[in-house]
Amino acid sequence: MSFLVILLGLIVTATWLKDVDRFDDAWFSRYQRALRSLAARNLESAKAQNLAGLVAVYGGLLIVVLMLEWFVAGRLYGLATMALHLLLLLVAMDRTQPGRLVLEFLRSWNAGDREGCVDYLKHELNLDSPPSALHGAAIVKQFKRLLVYRSFERMFMMYTLYLVLGPSGVVIGYVSYQLRTDLREEGDRECADSVGWLISLLEWIPLRLLALTFSLVGDFSRCFAQLRRQAWLGNAQLSNSELLAGWASCALSEAEAPCNADAPLVGADRAAGFDNAAMVLEVRELQGLVERSQLVWLVSVALLTLIGI
């Protein structure tokens, strides 16, 4: 059933809900603040408060999901369980479709609203230090990095977690990403770093599997060579989002792949050689790469379902 649920999730998100912003995640912020505050009561140590809060946030949702699984088990010949699993996947994959992200960004970009593009990077894609509105190429570069990583964390990552750990894995992944974002916004760097360490551990294999997929649907020799060179790098050298953006750039055979985190950004719009249409084309090509990769995963899961692994 696991493969069938993933297959349905891929089909639904890739077709029917391709450009739809489906669920509001604002409830999670209220949930995690309330539970962390409740768990920290009567604890004096800051570390104990943080640990109790994190355990409560993860444990609360896991208990709810396990109870729901127990309640629907065996009902409607297993269809109720399948529906529950599919709903969890759809909630966890909210706002991940590349088409939706690209549509909203290019709406401001094509209107010449660079400030709107910067606001989108900052508020929708959670970029801490957005580039200047004067640097169009820098804005596009950052959007491409965030686009590919957001698609990974809320789409490809969730498929992997569900396949390995079932609904509990989806809950762990969803809570981790939402919690990291909330904690950074609240300025709680210590807890955010703890959650970030867990995310890095969870992402290690899926990140490289997606890079391998990029090589299959793009420039294989260049992307695979870059993957071999950087496969064992850790977050201390390059963040996962930078690694993935570099591999995607290599797969697209771009002239200057952003594989180096210290590489300088392109100059302001007035700099010689800046091409607005070329920037749009780069975004569209990256969207196509992610969508082709999604199709590869769809076909792979379909084959696994057919042969009954």
Model confidence pLDDT, tens digit, residues 9-25: 666 766 655 555 556 77
Residue 96 pLDDT: 60
The domain in which residue 213 lies consists of: 2-307
Distance CA 12, CA 22 (A): 12
Number of domains in the chain: 1
pLDDT at 73: 81
In this predicted model, which residue has the larger pLDDT, 304 or 18? 304
CA distance readout (Å), 78 to 75, 171, 224:
6, 21, 41
DSSP one-letter code for 16: I
What SS3 state is found at 184?
A: helix
Say yes or no to pLDDT of 264 above 60.
no
* Helix residue ranges, H only, 73-156: 79-92, 98-110, 114-119, 136-151
**The model scores a pTM over 0.85:** no
For residues 47-73, b (16+ Cβ closer than 10 Å) or e, as one string?
eebbbbbbebbbebbeeebeebbeebe
User: Which residues have C-beta within 8 Å of that of residue 307, sequence separation ≥ 6?
Assistant: none
Evaluate the CA torsion angle 80, 83, 87, 89 in order and state its sign: positive
